[in-house]
């Protein structure tokens, strides 16, 4: 039934009937069947968190253990309810936790666990200062709802900077020559060593 609207819009009358009363009748029939289609699909739309009415959204949120925090926009609340099952499934892994932040519109984050010099139960969440400024309540709600038990979370701010590097190739050869000679005298034994080195590039 997804292509019902396309098929209905694609209905055409023959050229000798596409004026006057037959054309009006076709328009009325299209509108009528679109109205019927809307009523038939209304119950299904109420189970979709993106399109349902707000009172039913509250029921869906209750079923999925999502509570609306103060000042949360309705669009973000709908998104959190929509992805509740997927987020609950992904909360156990680092890649899943990063995916939760991306799904809810926070953007790129880094998760660091068990770093040297820091307590083992501390998980660092690296975000940009813009993400912290625009989504402070959402970040705390994600940590509260999907964070691991018995773990402490801390936010670290990262900033992007653009670098330009030029790469080049340098080849060289290191050569070392050594020579030894023994000079004999009547009283003492003398020895001399002559060494030379050159660097060719």
**Over the stretch 110-161, which tens digit does the pLDDT of each residue have?**
999 989 999 999 999 999 988 888 888 999 999 999 988 888 999 999 887 8
Q: What percent of the chain has pLDDT over 70?
A: 89
Give the three-class secondary structure for 124: strand
**What are the structural domain ranges in the chain?**
4-45, 65-157
pTM of the full predicted structure? 0.61
192 vs 47: CA distance, rounded Å? 96
Q: How far is CA 113 from CA 42, 63, 64, 121, in A?
A: 46, 32, 28, 8
Residue 194: strand pairing partners: 179
pLDDT band with cut points at 50, 70 and 90 for residue 184: low
199: pLDDT strictly greater than 60:
no
């Amino acid at each position: 039934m997804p292509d019902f609207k396309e098929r209905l819009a694609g209905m055409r009358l023959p050229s000798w009937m596409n004026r006057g009363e037959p054309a009006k009748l076709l328009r009325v029939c299209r509108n009528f069947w679109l109205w019927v289609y809307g009523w038939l699909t209304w119950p299904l739309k109420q189970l979709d968190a993106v399109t349902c009415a707000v009172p039913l959204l509250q029921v869906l949120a209750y079923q999925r253990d999502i509570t609306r925090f103060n000042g949360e926009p309705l669009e973000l609340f709908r998104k959190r309810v929509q992805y509740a099952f997927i987020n609950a499934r992904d909360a156990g892994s680092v890649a899943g936790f990063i995916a939760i932040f991306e799904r809810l519109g926070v953007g790129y984050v880094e998760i660091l666990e068990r770093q040297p010099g820091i307590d083992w139960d501390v998980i660092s969440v690296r975000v940009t200062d813009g993400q912290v400024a625009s989504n402070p309540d959402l970040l705390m709600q994600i940590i509260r709802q999907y964070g691991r038990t018995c773990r402490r979370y801390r936010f670290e701010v990262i900033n992007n900077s653009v670098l330009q590097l030029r790469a080049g190739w340098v080849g060289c050869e290191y050569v070392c020559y050594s020579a030894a000679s023994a000079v004999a005298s009547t009283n003492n034994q003398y020895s001399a060593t002559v060494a030379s080195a050159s660097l060719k590039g």
